[in-house]
Amino acid sequence: MRRSENQMNKVNSEHIMESLLSEYLDDSTPQEINVDELRTRAIDPKTAIRFDAAFKAANKGWASSTSSQTVITAHHPRRVKLRTPSFWTKSFYLLSGVAAGVLLAFGSWSFLKLEKGEKGSGLINSQMKLANSELDHKVKQPNAADNKIAAETSPASGSSELLSMDSVPFPTNTSKGSIKTDRSNVSDKSKKPSISGSSIVLNSDQLVALVDDQMEYMWKLRGVNPTTAIADEQWLQRASLLVLGKPVSSEDQANFLSDTSITRRQNWLDSATQSDDFYQHWSNKFANAILPKSESTESSDSLADRTRFKTWLQNRLKASIPLNEIVNEILVAQGSLVANASDYSPQAYWWAQVAANDDHSRATNAITSNLLGQRGSCIRCHDSNASSKQLLSNSLSSNDASNQPSVSRDDYWNLASVVSGISVLGKKVASSNKSNEAQSAASTQEQKSTNRTVGYAEDWHTLFYERLDRSLIAAKTKLPNGVDLTAPSEKRPTSKDAIRKNIEQLASWITSTPTFDQRQVNWVWESMLGQPLQNRYLIVESEGLVEKQELLEALGNQLRGSQFNLAKLVKAIALTNIFQLESQSCDPVWYITSTPQELADYQQRQHLFASFPATMDPSFRSLKHVATWFRKSHSSVLGQPSFDPTKLPKLKDGRKPESVAPEVTPAQTEFIVRSRVLPKGLVTEVEHWLKSSMPWEELVDHAFYLADDAPATKLEQMSARELLNSTRDRRQAIQRILASQLP
């Protein structure tokens, strides 16, 4: 016993020492606790919800009638009262309202002129937009100064407490018509907004309105109620994390709160997007978006090279180089990755990673998936464009689906042929091949002595690919836009100059396609809102396919129109309504006890951005966990009664209980994962897979391609096999895998 305690002492000391060491070396400190926020969280959740609803009701009242401005306080939620403002306050709001009305009318008139091709006064227009955007912002943000005004008791409190969440409309667009002067036809929200606007570069406010309108239209169409809006301080915390990649500092918070202007969110964003943190954060995001996911076996993924590549990206972003130009520079880069080499080129890291070991299929995948947002993993084998186009054209009424630029299987292999002109020298030996220490030392020496250099191939081999009918086809050196890169007299490029020109044309084509623009929007959107605006695999999308695609195209056009101004896009997303929505967090108990309708509503909200993504969705699990849980749950059937969710205590209003959730059993977890509803298109696709004679491993790979754009790892294949052995049903097992993996 004594000895075991000594051992425990030693182990504990090691843990303590390692945690302190980690703190010291990582320079990490505890996140500062906001006591006021903590106090607010200590409020009984039910009361807090009512308080929030009352707060929104107050906003609504303000928006609909400026002369009856009401202010409520956060001081005592059970006694939320509406306060009648003083004479001076009333007068101020009355005057503001009149001024806004005049501006609104004038704005609509001048925009109608603009739409007809007449150029109005730019100055007046910009002043009008500024005034309107300020007005809009005032409506949107219940600012802290207002919150601090002490509320007094009023008879209206009773009714405010009785307000339910559903009865409170989203508090934003009631006075928003003014900033959407270019979209004045959207007065009726059930009417489809026209969002093409490709010929006009919208300003930041208009860009925000563009997103808000489309989202609101999408929700109205389906009767979706978004969650409530968060307060300023929460917004700041969220924005700081997602725009700067770090928690908000106390200094930042103090500055933000001390700024009492109605544009304080914009002010903060303007300042944040100029900071080093912004460039560092977004260069990391950008690198992750364009580089393929690193594999655990990939020893060549040198940390130092990657860091230098990211630093290079950061410098380019900081120098205001547009994203398309940066990608162009990356694609035409060649040279060594060694910092002190004469031909040092940190941006060549991209080619060194994607075309390592002359794996040109991987490089083509990186181009189609990471740069163009296409389904590279699918189209290398399937000519799936037809079905995707069909899927879109079935839904698209106004747009012609055939205009959607896409890459066919032949295009894919033609691209691979162009890419095979790239050669990466100085490959490292993977450490997994080492059999003993001597070999290991030798290969380490080799790794140290060989340095990667990206250049053009000495010898050009014709690339062949197999069609489904087993016929072999020679790939052409041709771009998807039909430009044949091979000179008429040559069958293939023979000189390095010719290869260089081909790569330059490839880079120019990639960065000029609309799909490139949309891909950039999609990864920025995903970084800010947790999921891409449109999944590249359309069968995974369950709802809002058309509306999302329209918005994606419009934002892609706007991004190009604004010279790929990353900061502008980030700022616009941070100011949209969807970024300010509350997260609908749900724990396993909620998942189990909610009715099918509640669950469907929750999933619909998540898909349609009607709530901010929950940080931890219990239905999203690693396959390993799903497999283990399922096995345990399955075996429990032999010895224990099967799980019956109806026997759990039913929660009223389906909200997260305040008490700590009980431990979730394997059977319950299995139930949770099973409760995820797969989109219809995907169910049909799975049936299609099952009818083919595909081996199980390939089936699993297909599921992982859909979820992650990469095949399953060995570990995942093992877990999938375990799941299959437990279920003994391929359909059930593959559906379980998809349900657990899909975003």
Instruction: Please report the DSSP string for 452-509 in residue order.
Output: -EEEE-SS-PPPEEE-TTS-EEEPPSB-TTS-B-S-TT-SS--SHHHHHHHHHHHHHH
Q: ∠404-289-546 over CA atoms, to 5°?
A: 30
- By C-beta, is 11 or 473 nearer to another protein? 11
Contact flag: residue 9 with another protein (CB under 8 A): yes
Q: Which of 546, 230, 191, 234 is nearest to 396 (CA)?
A: 546
How far apart CA 214 and CA 211 sit, in angstroms, is 5
Enumerate residues 585-604 that contact another protein by CB under 8 A: 587-588
How far apart CA 106 and CA 128 sit, in angstroms, is 8
Among 1, 2, 3, 30, binds another protein (CB under 8 A): 30
Q: Which of 333, 294, 601, 306 is nearest to 456 (CA)?
A: 333
Over the Cα atoms of the chain, what is R_g?
A: 29
- By C-beta, is 44 or 697 nearer to another protein? 44
Least distance (Å) between residue 313 CB and another protein: 18
Encoding tokens for residue 28? Answer: 């990490």
Least distance (Å) between residue 620 CB and another protein: 12
Least distance (Å) between residue 444 CB and another protein: 6
Stretch that binds another protein, among 37-45, 252-260, 319-327, 602-610 (CB under 8 A): 37-45
How far apart CA 120 and CA 101 sit, in angstroms, is 19
- By C-beta, is 505 or 636 nearer to another protein? 636
Q: Which helix (H) or strand (E) holds 336?
A: strand 335-336
Q: Which of 224, 230, 229 is nearest to 605 (CA)?
A: 224
User: What 3-state DSSP class applies to 330?
Assistant: helix
- By C-beta, is 301 or 598 nearer to another protein? 301
Least distance (Å) between residue 21 CB and another protein: 6
Contact flag: residue 18 with another protein (CB under 8 A): yes
- By C-beta, is 15 or 680 nearer to another protein? 15
Among 1, 2, 3, 42, binds another protein (CB under 8 A): 42
Least distance (Å) between residue 52 CB and another protein: 15
Phi then psi for residue 277, to 5 deg, are -60, -40
Least distance (Å) between residue 277 CB and another protein: 17
Stretch that binds another protein, among 73-81, 466-474, 486-494, 699-707 (CB under 8 A): 73-81
C-alpha dihedral sign at 512, 285, 422, 320: positive
Least distance (Å) between residue 235 CB and another protein: 18
Q: Are 504 and 332 in contact (CB under 8 A)?
A: yes
How far apart CA 301 and CA 428 sit, in angstroms, is 9
Side-chain half-sphere exposure of 91, counting CA atoms within 13 A = 3
Among 1, 2, 33, 472, binds another protein (CB under 8 A): 33
Burial state string for 139-156 with b = 16 or more CB within 10 A and e = fewer than 16: bbbbbbebbeeebeebeb
Instruction: Please report the DSSP string for 699-718 in residue order.
Output: HHHHHHHHHHSSPPPHHHHH
Give the DSSP letter of residue 370: I
- By C-beta, is 653 or 663 nearer to another protein? 663
- By C-beta, is 413 or 591 nearer to another protein? 591
Encoding tokens for residue 675? Answer: 């409760």
User: What 3-state DSSP class applies to 472?
Assistant: strand
Least distance (Å) between residue 603 CB and another protein: 21
Q: Which of 380, 379, 375, 400 is nearest to 390 (CA)?
A: 400
Encoding tokens for residue 111? Answer: 């925009």
Q: In what order do the strands lie in the sheet with 453-456?
A: 335-336, 453-456, 422-425
Query: What mask of x and - would describe binding to another protein in positions 391 to 420, judged by CB under 8 A?
Result: ------------------------------
Q: What is the largest CA-CA distance in the chain?
A: 91
Query: What mask of x and - would describe binding to another protein in positions 651 to 690, judged by CB under 8 A?
Result: ---------xx-xx--------------------------
Distance of CA 153 to the CA centre of its chain: 44
Q: Are 475 and 462 in contact (CB under 8 A)?
A: yes
- By C-beta, is 445 or 462 nearer to another protein? 445
Q: Are 257 and 144 in contact (CB under 8 A)?
A: yes
Among 58, 70, 77, 170, binds another protein (CB under 8 A): 77
Among 496, 625, 721, 730, binds another protein (CB under 8 A): 625
- By C-beta, is 204 or 300 nearer to another protein? 300
Least distance (Å) between residue 245 CB and another protein: 13
Least distance (Å) between residue 14 CB and another protein: 6
Least distance (Å) between residue 661 CB and another protein: 7
- By C-beta, is 493 or 588 nearer to another protein? 588
Least distance (Å) between residue 650 CB and another protein: 21
Contact flag: residue 23 with another protein (CB under 8 A): yes
Q: Are 541 and 392 in contact (CB under 8 A)?
A: no
- By C-beta, is 26 or 469 nearer to another protein? 26
Stretch that binds another protein, among 179-187, 301-309, 508-516, 716-724 (CB under 8 A): 301-309
How far apart CA 95 and CA 102 sit, in angstroms, is 11
Q: Which of 541, 519, 544, 515 is nearest to 215 (CA)?
A: 544
Least distance (Å) between residue 730 CB and another protein: 26
Contact flag: residue 78 with another protein (CB under 8 A): yes
Least distance (Å) between residue 22 CB and another protein: 5
Strands (E), 403-540: 422-425, 453-456, 464-466, 472-474
- By C-beta, is 420 or 726 nearer to another protein? 726
Stretch that binds another protein, among 69-77, 163-171, 316-324, 605-613 (CB under 8 A): 69-77
Contact flag: residue 566 with another protein (CB under 8 A): no
Least distance (Å) between residue 359 CB and another protein: 21
- By C-beta, is 14 or 687 nearer to another protein? 14
Give the DSSP letter of residue 540: G
How far apart CA 415 and CA 25 sit, in angstroms, is 45
Q: Which of 277, 342, 339, 341 is nearest to 309 (CA)?
A: 339
Enumerate residues 217-256 that contact another protein by CB under 8 A: 247
Query: What mask of x and - would describe binding to another protein in positions 44 to 63, judged by CB under 8 A?
Result: x--x----------------
Among 2, 28, 88, 646, binds another protein (CB under 8 A): 28
Among 157, 288, 299, 717, binds another protein (CB under 8 A): 299
User: What 3-state DSSP class applies to 461?
Assistant: coil
How far apart CA 207 and CA 569 sit, in angstroms, is 8
- By C-beta, is 250 or 595 nearer to another protein? 250
Least distance (Å) between residue 7 CB and another protein: 10
Q: Which of 554, 529, 517 is nearest to 202 (CA)?
A: 554
Which neighbouring-strand residues pair with 465?
Answer: 473
- By C-beta, is 113 or 306 nearer to another protein? 306
Enumerate residues 417-456 that contact another protein by CB under 8 A: 431, 437, 440-441, 444-445, 447-448
Stretch that binds another protein, among 40-48, 88-96, 393-401, 646-654 (CB under 8 A): 40-48
Tell me which residues touch another protein (CB under 8 A).
5, 8-9, 11-33, 35, 38-39, 41-44, 47, 75-78, 247, 299, 302-304, 431, 437, 440-441, 444-445, 447-448, 587-588, 625, 660-661, 663-664
